[in-house]
Amino acid sequence: MAGEQQATSAVVEPEVTTEQQTRRLPPYNVVILNDEEHTFPYVIELLIKLFRHPLPKAEELTLRIHTTGRAIVYTTHKELAELKRDQVIAYGPDPRLKTSKGPLRCYVEPAPTD
């Protein structure tokens, strides 16, 4: 076999294109309800600390909670929405009011999708 020439052939791989589709997780709203056991400063503080809302937005949401009875304070995927709800509940009673016995009422609901 010494002296024989070996034929080499190049194998050309076909170009494979894969189309990736990003699946978005369905959105969920975190909703806070109004009550008479928490002060405006407490709610504003909570919205700034837990949701990182700037002061004007926290004030606007607090007023909306007070005047309409509820407000959507955050929209995200279900797991994070549930975590935020749990953080609101863990924030506890308002130390500014002796009559405050527990946390703000808060729940998670599916957000409408367009």
Residue by residue, pLDDT tens for the chain (114 residues) are: 555 555 556 666 667 666 666 677 899 999 999 999 999 999 999 999 999 999 999 999 999 999 999 999 999 999 999 999 999 999 999 999 999 999 999 999 999 987
Domain hosting residue 101, numbered range = 36-110
pLDDT of residue 5: 58
Decide if 31 contacts 73 (C-beta within 8 A).
yes
17 belongs to a structural domain: no
CB-based burial of residue 79 (10 Å sphere; 0-12 exposed, 13-18 middle, 19+ buried)?
A: exposed
8 belongs to a structural domain: no
4 belongs to a structural domain: no
Read off the pTM. 0.79
5 belongs to a structural domain: no
pLDDT of residue 46: 98
48 belongs to a structural domain: yes
79 belongs to a structural domain: yes
What CATH number is associated with residue 103?
Answer: 3.30.1390
41 belongs to a structural domain: yes
Quote the number of domains for the chain.
1
pLDDT of residue 16: 63
